[in-house]
Chain A
Amino acid sequence: MVADHGWPSRRLDLLAGFDLIFRHGIDTLHGFRRPAFATPFYQRVIRRLAGYGAPPSATASVGLTGPPTLLDVDTVIVGAGRSGRAVAGALVAAGLHPLVVERRLQPPPIPGADLLTATTATFLPPRVPTGDPPFEILGSVEPGRGLRIRARRVVVATGSYDGGLLFESSDRPGVVTADGALAMRDGRGQPPFRRAVVFGSGDRAKAALEQLGDHVVAVASPTEVPPDLVAEANRHGALLYPRSLILGVGGRRRVRSVTLRSRGDGTTTEVDADALVLAHRRLPNSQLFFQAGARVAWRAGTGAYYPIVGDDGTTSVPGLWAVGSAAGATTSGSIGSGERTGASLTGGSVPLAPIERIRSEGPNDMEGYYRDLLRESRTGRWIVCPCEDVLLGEVEHASRSGYRGMEVIKRYTGVGTGLCQGRYCVPDTLLLLALLEQRTPTEVGYLTQRPPVHPTPLAALAALNVSEPISEGP
């Protein structure tokens, strides 16, 4: 469906006016109750505004039905990034013929492997405990054809993404993740900004600076800036703001400035900028591990859960491997992690070098970052969950009213229930709740990672209903 977010149209969006009227959020939990006789009217108005696009028309799903892709393989690798390719390469070298599925449209071919592209593997349920049936992965092949893969072994190489950050007006156009900035640059040859502030201190910030350097005016880092990043910033003439909090961005229609607060001496700086590029932490795409029931562990440094893996990528679920940045390896360590798993899968000897893991302390201490940030006084809109427009104030209110734990706060505020299913907002919400509830993030708990990972068309799933026809009733 089209994500048409304005009303009456995307260009003339009167709904944007609501944001001004309801600066503290629209309280759908308590509001619109009185007078009682008016509730059907409120409901009609709100239903007018609900949902995206138009109601489905008779032609909405024409061309969407087609035969499903049903595959039965020994080994499937989900993801054709660095680590997935490394695993595939090792299997091919050992004379095997692995299947690799990849969501991006045109990944480079992997000689000797079957590469199924434009495919989304969205659901990897735990295996039925009785006997030893294969894994079953459900998903779709564009434009919405069903995909079911039965496999004896599954290697999850789904990579990682740039996490979001909480600050005032984070929904302002011009706030982008490094992923987004690089994709936009690749799409049009130029990034859509000239004077960006890059936020981050690790590999990712360095990569963003290397690739977008001419369009960057400053690097703000949550921690001290490591020497290699200092050198890179100097090369591009970018100013350095070590140990900084991002308080917010200014500008009416798009970012015009970025406001920083030094975590050292407390000084405030407003940097003249037209974009803020978030490159402060990589988060693993770990939903498939969760779905499959693999054990995970919390890492305080990045503020995220990672699957518990052995050096060869084995997880707690027999037959399920995890490699690359999805398993917590650094970008540079990803290939090695894939090679080790490849060796293990083919019965070869496993190279001994240990996996290079994302640093777990020091530069990326997000818990400490948010502790400092929450001490700041705040004005304006602090959006915790952009999909569902949940404000920090609403989370704080829920917490003060006695609702505790990630699962309950999700249900109370709607955090993490939108189109991204919490990928973007839940990692930060978890850190905030740990501070508000004065306990550790692991005690706050996590969200059940519900299938599918990405919205999957009903038509694609319906096409998979092949083995057992539904009963049409007596």
Chain B
Amino acid sequence: MTGPQRTEYAVAVVGAGVVGLYTAYHLAQAGVGPVLVLDRGFLSSGASGRNGGGVRQQWETRATVRLARESVAAYRRFGRDFGYNIWFRQGGYVFLAENEVALGRLRIVHQTVRSEGLGSRILDEAGVTRLVPGLAAGAAVGGTYLRTDGTLYPFPAIWGLYEAVRARGVEVALGVEAVGVEQEAGRVVGLVTRSGSVRVPKVVNAAGGWSGDLSRSVGLEVPNRATRHEILATEPIKPFLDPMVVRPSDGLYFSQTMRGEIVGGLTVPHEPGTAQGMGSSAAFLPRMAAALTRLIPRLGGLGVLRAWSGFYDDTPDGFPVIGEDPRLTGFYHANGFGGHGFMLAPASSRRVAQSVMGEKTDLDPGLFGVGRFFTPGEAPRAERLQLG
């Protein structure tokens, strides 16, 4: 828990989750000068150490499909690039439709994904049942499937990134909380932490569920809001399920890990905000268990081993926020990833780094820029395949 070692940096990244570390990695690769990553918690204490490890490319919006596709390629290379095996297993993602209306919505996704050159398939009930053994009769009328989607182990990804950035001279200060930025004439000139201030012209907000708090604490109004999501793991059983299974209507998702555990969650409404902490609730376990056993009744005898929770960093339209804040020069957003920051991190972070270095990115600012939330006349768009 030592404070920053230098008094001056080129860039400071707040948050040592997958987004902050990947961003620091790209910055260090480009040789921007001294980079500081700080995190008030321990490594992997945020959502990056609490998620389901799902990586999918099925989205309703082409720009997101592209970010996801690029990220899949990065995760395939991860073992070579970072020395850690993240066990990225491309067992596919099945989206379930419980009725024709839901299937109609998935068809739109299917067409978008196809138009990006990915081999998504529409499944009928029999097709779904083949991929999800034991599915209760009538539980789904069909769905979509993309074989190259998959799951990974989040922890080794964090370890690999942590070691890679440190090996490239990035300083990672753990147990250090950012409490504000110093500004002069509308530009960032420093970062204030609980262990002192440093001079730095560029600050990246990669604080996950707490990013809204950080932005607001420096006077920038943003609509990001943290929502708690719970998740559970069962005892390991012999692998029988290849794909990640998602039901968009209630956000039920689950997959079977390399070790044989079923890991999954379900969206249960919680009070927004981070005040409730990251515990588990009495509401989640029964609901999740009921949803799972109704879908696959033969899992009833399986014991739940543990449950935990983490925060999504949600935006109203379901798109992340990437790039410099037009209201404060030198303040960059890398947040708002909702339940999908892991699968989008490699590609998104590259663009964050590009914008920090003053390069133009290929992202549509109307979709990803923070300006979209207060530019009048922007046609409201939203990614509707947000859950799961």
CB pair A30 B85 closer than 8 Å: yes
Distance between Cα atoms of A454 and B279 in the complex (Å)? 17
Q: Which residues of B contact A393 (CB under 8 A)?
A: none
CB pair B285 A123 closer than 8 Å: yes
Chain B residues touching A, range: 35 or more
A56/B302 contact (C-beta < 8 A), A465-B287, A473-B249 known: yes
A323 to chain B, nearest CB (A): 24
CB pair A452 B238 closer than 8 Å: no
**Is B221 in the interface zone, CB < 8 Å from A?**
no
**Is B216 in the interface zone, CB < 8 Å from A?**
no
The segment from B17-25, B291-299, B331-339, B360-368 that touches chain A is B291-299
Q: Which residues of A contact B282 (CB under 8 A)?
A: 123, 125, 136, 138
Count of residues in A whose CB is under 8 Å from the partner chain: 74
Among B83, B250, B280, B303, the most chain A Cβ lie within 10 Å of the Cβ of B303
Distance between Cα atoms of A465 and B266 in the complex (Å)? 14
CB within 8 Å: A-B pair count: 217
Main secondary structure, interface of A, reads loop
Distance between Cα atoms of A368 and B134 in the complex (Å)? 54
Instruction: Show 6 A/B contacts (Cβ-Cβ < 8 Å), sorted by A.
Output: A51-B261, A55-B133, A56-B301, A61-B298, A408-B42, A458-B302
CB pair A462 B300 closer than 8 Å: yes
The segment from A42-50, A228-236, A254-262, A272-280 that touches chain B is A42-50
Q: Which residues of B contact A58 (CB under 8 A)?
A: 134, 298
Give 4 A-B pairs besides A452-B305, A465-B290, A470-B291 with Cβ atoms closer than 8 angstroms.
A40-B90, A419-B235, A459-B300, A473-B250
Q: Which residues of B contact A34 (CB under 8 A)?
A: 79-80
List the interface of chain A (C-beta within 8 A of B).
1, 28-34, 36, 39-40, 43, 46-48, 50-61, 64-65, 123, 125-126, 136, 138, 144, 146, 291, 293, 401-405, 407-408, 411-412, 417, 419, 421, 445, 448, 450-452, 454-466, 468, 470-474
Q: Which residues of B contact A293 (CB under 8 A)?
A: 279
Q: Mark B46-61, 1 if CB is under 8 A from A, else 0.
A: 0001000000000000
- Please tell me which one of the listed residues B260, B286, B305 contacts residue A464 in the complex, with CB atoms under 8 A apart: B286
Q: Which residues of A contact B80 (CB under 8 A)?
A: 33-34, 36
| Interface pairs A-B: 3 shortest CB-CB | A473-B249, A51-B260, A455-B303
CB pair B300 A458 closer than 8 Å: yes
A459/B301 contact (C-beta < 8 A), A36-B80, A43-B258, A51-B237 known: yes
* Chain A residue with the shortest CB-CB distance to B240: A55
Distance between Cα atoms of A456 and B278 in the complex (Å)? 21
Distance between Cα atoms of A419 and B250 in the complex (Å)? 30
The segment from B106-114, B155-163, B373-381 that touches chain A is B155-163
CB pair A125 B85 closer than 8 Å: no
Distance between Cα atoms of A146 and B257 in the complex (Å)? 26
B194 to chain A, nearest CB (A): 18
| Residues 201-238 of B at the A interface (beta carbon under 8 Å) | 234-238
